[in-house]
Amino acid sequence: MALTGGALVVKVRGGEPPFTWLANGAPVLLADRAREAAIPLDGPGFVTLSVIDARGRSAAVTVALR
């Protein structure tokens, strides 16, 4: 993961597209087929990112942004 210009670049390995991305439980990208995405974020603090694949499988991580 890398923070680039107000967006966090994330990658997903495994799973079946399309992917739905959530930041703190709110959808930020819907039906995204790419395995890499730039998630727009407001600024420093903690954010919990979740991804859900086409089969309903999910993963989540909490990261600190500076």
User: Global pTM?
Assistant: 0.86
Tokens of 52: 């859900």
**pLDDT tens, position by position, 7-46:** 899 999 999 999 999 999 999 999 999 999 999 887 888 9
CATH code for residues 2-65: 2.60.40
Tokens of 23: 């930041």
Residue ranges per structural domain of the chain = 2-65
Tokens of 29: 């990208």
